[in-house]
Amino acid sequence: ESYTMSTILEKWQITAEELTKIVEDNPSLRGFMFGYVSEYKARTYFNRHEDVTNLMKYDDHDRTSKGDISFHYKGREFRIEAKSLQTNSVINVGKNSWKGKFQCDASDRREITLPNGHTVNTTCLAVGEFDIVAVSLYAFGDQWRFAFAKNSDLPHPGSRSRNVTVEDREYLIKTLIDISWPLKAPFTTDVYSLLDSMI
């Protein structure tokens, strides 16, 4: 009689408690896994809306398609870049007030050509490479909620960015971005108002 293992715990023959301990004992594994969990949660968030169709996840190894998630909304395709808070940056500054940072860059350095014709070798994401950033705020009180902002509204590298020339900064996105709860502009929980404004 054949038996199909339904979960990774059954396949690896470990308990939920053992997996929890493995993850807790290996912070880099926790960060790696949590990034994919956040991305999955973002996809399920969009999947609940009746106007969202053709929801898909991009191949992580496809360097030509920036963004983690793609879908069609009211006839237009949108690309979403999913990010998570840096756990060690999170500070509780009040009863339900938080601040932290999230890394908003590419997974590795690559050459990109900017609209001004300059070619740069950078980990920075470029203006226009995706449409919306979705930041998982789970570390703000262990609740699944997301902050959204348009690519075009994200901050650019500052004067301390030695590897980015002044004339190139307007075409690139800052790699470490501050965020707080309650949210402040350009971030919002209402992603569909952002999408509607872009149609």
pLDDT in tens, 17-68: 999 999 999 999 998 899 899 999 999 999 999 999 999 987 655 555 557 8
What is the reported pTM?
A: 0.89
Nearest to 90 by CA among 81, 99, 82: 99
Residue with tokens 């949660």: 41
Residue 46 in 3-state DSSP?
helix
Please report the pLDDT score of residue 5 as a whole number: 63
Q: Which two tokens stand for residue 70?
A: 């793609």
8 A C-beta contact, residue 156 and residue 174? yes
Higher pLDDT, 51 or 162: 51
pLDDT at 178: 97
Average pLDDT, the chain: 91
pLDDT at 160: 72
